[in-house]
Structure 1
């Protein structure tokens, strides 16, 4: 079987498989939106058609797609495609088709010079088997609107509704000063239009707060929905971005001032370390949940460890365990000196300073985990000076992939 960029003529079949996998209760009738995907998205098909022959839709055994993200990793920007829309029809399941498709995708990424990958899993154990590991947790916070009074400012400045054709540049400036953590995505205009404004069929409101000089200092993306318990309505805050604390307080005031319309304000995804609940008049009135977030994977160890930036120096030889990518399942020598890094595969059964599983190494690379945590979980075996060297080279960072795809 072979992974190919999906021909336009097969987009209906692609959508049919996605709908069956993720929206089966809608039944067999569906319509495809011609503008359903942003410019970053590439749909892919896994075909039985031999290489060199035109793929037939009847040979389409499974589908997936990738978003060509550029993501901050240890202070620099790196390509990190987001895997999505992994689906197979019922007639091709339990044959290992999806497993072979994922293997083919990783090989395709490697051939394209891509060394990192990310995804939001439908099931964490499934993707762990293929080498992806959790990149960050996130918090979900819900509270009655009056609880936001303690973190809201007195009125100042002004609010206005933001529009894609006019305000993306100003919003980008806010976003770049706000999303500074590891795994922040450099948003393209197409992604702004698709992910923030909802494309041609927006399903959320976007409002901004301007100071008295007319400078946009923050914005909030939200939608209204009925609560699951049937007890009124909720303001669902999808993103609240602020250039500073003053702007953030005014945006909380904006949310609080919907108290005549909603019984609850819910912040859908917050960094795990953000704890506004501590300032609420009655913290027990709020609900704070911690949930697992997206996953990351190193596609090519040698390239990934060579390209990332380091704030320390040192050398270490690691045995990497990767059951899916034979080019990673080997010993690697990492040397970092004078700001330059070189990572190369060591052949011939070289002696190593320790071993690490590919998922754990992926977490170390982006800053999602410490060496001590990986060792304690049994995903790495390294100690002494080698462990100290790894801790210096890969210190823990605040990681948070804000995008949902």
Structure 2
């Protein structure tokens, strides 16, 4: 797609996703396409039949920052559905992302089984607690909560977020534009918790609608900060009847509530796909072995042929030292055989090797060492949406 096709793209988006944009919003959307997206379209007689957008983004993976392609805005006119347009666009997107140096791709699926056919696998979940102010104990903390504007405390929020994001895998490395356009909205309230010395130790982003309070992000670096932010929620007891809190998978504060018997809904959220296996393994940060380790992956990838085959990966001193495509290999410590979906789930930590084996998704021969003894994978998580 080129700029002359953007009006058609906006029109298709409005129809497919059932919303309407004002003229100003249409101009803003087309500017984003021009400046921040790689736009792919499939045409029939000069009419845009289907489209998708690749967002060049960056994520945290252990100590690494990894460029990745976020796939979004996938849409087809109903009269052109089930005729191969999206198949062709996804294949083109994989080649485009490889050329751009993106070793990983992520997307929010409209139908999980559809994207599994193209090598994507579920890697991220949302964790939502439903509670009321009465469920929260009364806390007395040494610090205090302060309502702030994003521009006023931008650096503080970005640091708190980055500290949290680096504890997980697949969390986005947000730039200022993303914070301002995709994270913070006009109706949001930002609360930062400070200790007695004035150090920021946590934050939340909330919006209130009628008698419901929704917490979009809840980050804390100490028990005092957690309790201080929870007390801020409790102080809405005369204003709201219900609270939804979007949490991280490692959070366990519900145990300490007055009423721990609150619903926790875990729901599949984003899917990921390794685009360039060789490039991805060269930066893979989760191997902890100091001694030399040789891993052999027999990989099947129907839609990215460059990934197919046997890959011998050598790690030493926790770093990838060599990636080579081979016909045969000797002195291998662990052999893996699977498709790109299961290898993605394993390497990104969304599913354990044991479970993948139990459900017949991977064949493994641990010849000399165990995978769990040489790897330590940060649990994947994602606050954002695209």
The question of a shared fold, defined as TM-score above 0.5 by the shorter chain, is answered with yes
Match of 2:278 in 1: 302
Q: Does 1:114 align with 2:102?
A: yes
Q: Does 1:222 align with 2:209?
A: no
Cα separation, partners in 2 of 1:350 and 1:210, compared to 1, 3 Å:
closer
1:107-132 deviation digits (Å, cap 9, x = unpaired): 10111111111111111111111111
Match of 2:339 in 1: 357
C-alpha distance in 2 between matches for 1:38 and 1:18: 12
Cα separation, partners in 2 of 1:206 and 1:8, compared to 1, 3 Å:
farther
Question: Offset of 1:192 from its aligned partner?
Answer: 1.0
Any idea what SS the aligned residue of 2:172 has?
coil
Any idea what SS the aligned residue of 1:164 has?
coil
Is the 1:147–1:280 Cα contact (8 Å) retained in structure 2?
A: yes
Match of 1:138 in 2: 126
C-alpha distance in 2 between matches for 1:39 and 1:157: 45
C-alpha distance in 1 between matches for 2:357 and 2:134: 45
User: How large is the Cα RMSD of the aligned pairs?
Assistant: 2.6
Figure out how many residues of one structure are paired with residues of the other and give that number.
Answer: 375
Cα separation, partners in 2 of 1:161 and 1:41, compared to 1, 3 Å:
farther
Alignment of 1:37-186 (within 5 A): 37=32, 41-48=36-43, 58-149=46-137, 153-154=139-140, 156-179=142-165, 180-186=167-173
Match of 1:378 in 2: 360
Q: Does 1:252 align with 2:230?
A: yes
Question: Offset of 1:287 from its aligned partner?
Answer: 1.6
Match of 1:291 in 2: 267
Is the 1:320–1:328 Cα contact (8 Å) retained in structure 2?
A: yes
Gaps of 5+ in 1: 1-5, 50-55, 227-232
Is the 2:300–2:338 Cα contact (8 Å) retained in structure 1?
A: yes
Is the 1:72–1:185 Cα contact (8 Å) retained in structure 2?
A: yes
1:56-110 deviation digits (Å, cap 9, x = unpaired): 9x34221222332211223211112221111111122110110110111011011
| 4+ residue runs over 6 A deviation | 349-352
Q: Does 1:266 align with 2:275?
A: no
- Choose the corresponding residue for 1:314, options 289, 293, 299: 293
1:12-45 deviation digits (Å, cap 9, x = unpaired): 322221221121xx5x786534334599841513
Gaps of 5+ in 2: none
Is the 1:296–1:362 Cα contact (8 Å) retained in structure 2?
A: yes
Match of 1:3 in 2: none
Is the 2:122–2:270 Cα contact (8 Å) retained in structure 1?
A: yes
